[in-house]
């Protein structure tokens, strides 16, 4: 595998989202030969509905997501916690990528989950729900590539995560683990 492509999906749609900033920082840590692309447009994808998931008639925004997931070697999911669980936009993306049943673009993809919250909980409930949803959808969750950030409103209030040496080191480790899993799945 000459270039490893990682697709980052960010559960927060807010322009100033710290989860988005964490994704940007992760992309910044990517070593040579690894490209981390952040998917834009999760908010434009209609809620999953089998009535509109018809071959040749799939909504364009959902097809763009499926194609991006299919082209990636691995997925890096950034999840905030909304009312104790996964944000609807990220869950919806997982649902679209899981179809058609048993053959969705997420099937067999190595997946890492990074959770971040303003609470001390570090979005661990949302993290767990995301791991569950991604695994049930057919993804291969890389247990060694998980990361949790707590009290992000305080920690990153004055600076972008890419300016936090510890955060960069932790994100780089996640990217490294995910790349290893992606390369191993190609070699298998």
Q: What is the pLDDT of residues 101-157, one digit of tens each?
A: 889 999 999 999 999 999 998 899 999 999 999 999 999 999 999 999 999 999 999
In angstroms, the CA 79 to CA 85 distance is 9
Q: What is the pLDDT of residues 5-51, one digit of tens each?
A: 999 999 999 989 999 999 999 999 999 999 999 999 999 999 999 99
In angstroms, the CA 109 to CA 164 distance is 29
Q: What is the dihedral of CA 16, 130, 139, 17, to 10 degrees?
A: 0
Instruction: Label residues 129-146 b or e (16+ Cβ within 10 Å = b).
Output: bbbebbeebbbbbbeebb
């Amino acid at each position: 595998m000459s270039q490893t492509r990682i697709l980052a999906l960010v559960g927060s749609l807010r322009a100033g989202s710290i989860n988005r900033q964490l994704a940007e920082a992760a992309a910044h840590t990517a070593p040579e030969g690894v490209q981390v692309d952040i998917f834009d447009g999760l908010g434009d994808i209609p809620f999953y509905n089998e009535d509109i998931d018809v071959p040749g008639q799939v909504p364009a925004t959902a097809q763009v997501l499926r194609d991006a997931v299919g082209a990636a070697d691995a997925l890096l999911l950034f999840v905030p916690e909304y009312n104790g669980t996964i944000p609807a936009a990220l869950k919806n993306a997982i649902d679209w990528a899981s179809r058609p049943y048993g053959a969705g673009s997420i099937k067999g993809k190595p997946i890492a989950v990074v959770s971040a919250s303003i609470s001390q909980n570090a979005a661990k409930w949302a993290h767990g729900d995301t791991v569950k949803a991604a695994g049930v959808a057919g993804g291969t969750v890389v247990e060694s590539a998980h990361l949790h950030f707590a009290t992000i409103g305080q920690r990153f209030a004055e600076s972008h995560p890419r300016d936090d040496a510890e955060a960069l080191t932790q994100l780089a480790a996640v990217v490294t683990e995910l790349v290893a899993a992606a390369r191993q799945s190609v070699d298998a």
